[in-house]
Amino acid sequence: MDIESSSTLTFTHTRLLVTGYQECFRFYRDVLGFEVGWGDEESYYADFEAGDATLALFGREAMADAVGVTEKRSETPRQDEVALIFRVESVNETYQELREKIEFVTEPHDRPDWGIRVAHFRDPDENLIEINRSLEA
């Protein structure tokens, strides 16, 4: 991908989009022993420290709502099961640079409840990709 340095994508974590959040939370915390970086059994979003990587859990229905695909039931193969997350310097600038090359699922917008500004698009195999930047930045 030929992108100017202002829109360099930095891979931050993999987000598993789950239907059984509490069971998955306990599995990654109690069975695999990952340290919780953020969240708990009731938050329906959590980050786990997994060595040099971060693994996140998020309710599949909540992610479907965020990207506007709630009409796809969580059991169907078309609803997302994973999202790749990339931090960028500016969501707006990266969006402007990429929108000629790809179709975005969501335009840049603030998610104060998540503490980030985001936009979403898909790779050629329909995997969900999020670019974001902290609202505090």
Question: What digits encode the pLDDT tens for the residues 65-98?
Answer: 888 876 655 544 557 888 888 899 999 999 999 9
Q: Could you report the per-residue pLDDT of 17-29, keeping only the tens digit for each?
A: 988 899 999 989 9
Q: What's the whole-number mean pLDDT along residues 43-64?
A: 89
> Do the beta carbons of residue 86 and residue 130 sit within 8 Å?
yes
Structure confidence at residue 1 as a pLDDT band (50, 70, 90): very low
> Do the beta carbons of residue 67 and residue 106 sit within 8 Å?
yes
Total structural domains within the chain: 1
- Residues near 134 by beta carbon (within 8 Å), at least 6 away in sequence: 115, 116, 117
The domain of 110 spans: 5-134
The tokens of 84 are what? 């790749």
Entry pTM: 0.68
Give me the pLDDT at residue 2, please: 47
